[in-house]
Amino acid sequence: MDIDAWLWWLIGAAALGIALVITAMPELGMLAVGAVAAAVVSGIFGGGAVAQVAVFAVVSTALIAVVRPIASRHRAQRPQLATGVDALKGRQAVVLERVDGSGGRIKLAGEVWSARALDAGRAYEAGQEVDVVDIEGATAIVM
């Protein structure tokens, strides 16, 4: 049984796709796209072995050269949306129980939090608005 070259390229692309899923290496996905391009050259355009390998090499190399730097830049950027305790830093809270250097209670984002004053000599009375500077464990540091 003789299998056409385009089918071999598709089998190779599928194998690279499986390896991509297993290893999470995006380069394998780019090689799989190159294999699909070579299959198209073979099956639709009837290109010879040299043309197929050339298309595979050019498409794969171009994808790696273009996509990897873009992906690296996106991976290096900090997320635009702060979540968790990072989202609470910089927000305002209302003092529920006196807050000083040793502790107190505030209402922050609809929840009651333990709090401590950033400046140990400073105290904030109930009803005052304070800014959350940091979160240490389950304690908000305010000023």
Task: Return the pLDDT at 100.
Answer: 93
Task: Return the pLDDT at 2.
Answer: 59
Q: Where are the domains of the chain?
A: 5-77, 85-142
Q: For residue range 3-62, what is the model confidence (pLDDT) as tens digits?
A: 799 999 999 999 999 999 999 999 999 999 999 999 999 999 988 999 999 999 999 999
pTM of the shown model: 0.55
The highest-level CATH class for domain 85-142 is: mainly beta
**Exposed e or buried b for every residue in 86-113, given b needs 16+ CB within 10 A?**
eebeeeebebbeebbeeebbbebeeeeb
The structure tokens listed for 13 are 């692309």
